[in-house]
């Protein structure tokens, strides 16, 4: 995708619902097929949100006024006047201020989908102790291994035939994650205590869930706990933490 002024203007028209109806369908299809374009649209949407804030609106008003004056003076004079020079400089400062605000906003509530995708691996299936409900447990594990997360959730979220162990909470939490139900996933991971042998696993998946929810602060806090624990996830936690704090 080539980032051009023409593309930016088209995105702005699209977000402000000023793009001709016949172009909207084609543009939305283009967005669905181009992840870079989709990300660019989201950045512009975030910019619009930032610019809707009261304080930032003052910047926009000043910028618009300066822009109008620049155009008027440019049409009246063959050369750029001294006052016009400073107005241009002022407009650059204003744009830079808005840009900085946008950058900080995007970094604070940014899109961590790439990081999430890079570090997320589904919790692996483990052996389960044999028992009277083994047949049903086999069905759960088989469904989980095959990626049938709807079935896993259907069985585990409404099951009274055997206790929902911490191991199965990890299965259920990961199933929720893969179905886009992050809050439900968190509820499962958070019920695994610090004294459990699955504690580190639970914190790792909690950290990734918060990352998916764009909450870098909570994700970082959990990653630091994992690093201090010095277990199997320590190296990955250090890498991810460094990227979040960069």
Q: Which two tokens stand for residue 84?
A: 């016009």
As a whole-number percent, the residues of the chain with pLDDT over 90 amount to: 39
Q: How many CA atoms lie within 13 A of 234 on its CB side?
A: 6
What confidence category does residue 21 fall into, taking pLDDT thresholds of 50, 70 and 90?
confident
Q: Which two tokens stand for residue 180?
A: 């886009």
Cα angle for residues 166, 171, 173 (degrees, 5° grid): 90
- Rg for the chain, CA atoms, rounded: 26
Residue 241 reports pLDDT greater than 50: yes
What confidence category does residue 133 fall into, taking pLDDT thresholds of 50, 70 and 90?
low
E strands present in 17-125:
none
* pLDDT for 70: 56
> From CA 207, how far away is CA 211, in angstroms rounded?
6
Do 171 and 156 touch, CB atoms closer than 8 A?
A: yes
> From CA 170, how far away is CA 129, in angstroms rounded?
16
In sequence order, the 6+-apart residues with CB closer than 8 A to the CB of 31 are 37, 38, 41
Least confident window among 13-17, 68-72, 81-85, 242-246 = 81-85
Per residue in 155-191, pLDDT (tens digit) is: 898 766 667 889 999 999 999 999 999 999 999 999 9
Per residue in 192-219, pLDDT (tens digit) is: 999 999 999 999 999 999 999 999 999 9
For 131, other C-beta atoms within 10 Å of its C-beta total 10
As a whole-number percent, the residues of the chain with pLDDT over 70 amount to: 68
Per residue in 55-109, pLDDT (tens digit) is: 555 555 555 565 566 556 555 544 444 444 444 444 444 444 444 444 444 444 4
């Amino acid at each position: 995708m080539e980032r051009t002024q023409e593309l930016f203007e088209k995105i702005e028209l699209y977000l402000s619902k000023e793009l001709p109806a016949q172009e909207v369908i084609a543009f939305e299809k283009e967005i669905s097929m181009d992840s870079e374009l989709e990300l660019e649209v989201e950045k512009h949407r975030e910019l619009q949100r930032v610019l809707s804030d009261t304080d930032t609106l003052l910047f926009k008003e000043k910028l618009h006024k300066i822009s109008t004056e620049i155009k008027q003076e440019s049409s009246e004079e063959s050369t750029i006047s001294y006052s016009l020079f400073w107005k241009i400089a002022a407009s650059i400062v204003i744009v830079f201020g808005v840009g900085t605000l946008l950058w900080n906003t995007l970094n604070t509530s940014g899109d961590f989908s790439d990081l999430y995708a890079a570090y997320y691996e589904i919790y692996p299936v483990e052996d389960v102790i044999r028992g009277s409900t083994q047949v049903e447990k086999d069905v759960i594990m088989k469904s989980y291994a095959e990626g049938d997360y709807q079935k896993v959730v259907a069985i585990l979220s409404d099951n009274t035939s055997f206790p929902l162990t911490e191991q199965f909470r990890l299965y259920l939490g990961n199933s929720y994650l893969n179905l886009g139900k992050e809050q439900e996933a968190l509820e499962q991971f958070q019920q695994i205590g610090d004294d459990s042998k699955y504690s580190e696993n639970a914190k790792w998946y909690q950290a990734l869930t918060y990352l998916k929810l764009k909450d870098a602060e909570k994700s970082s806090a959990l990653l630091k706990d994992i690093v201090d624990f010095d277990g199997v996830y320590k190296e990955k936690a250090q890498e991810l933490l460094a990227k979040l704090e960069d």
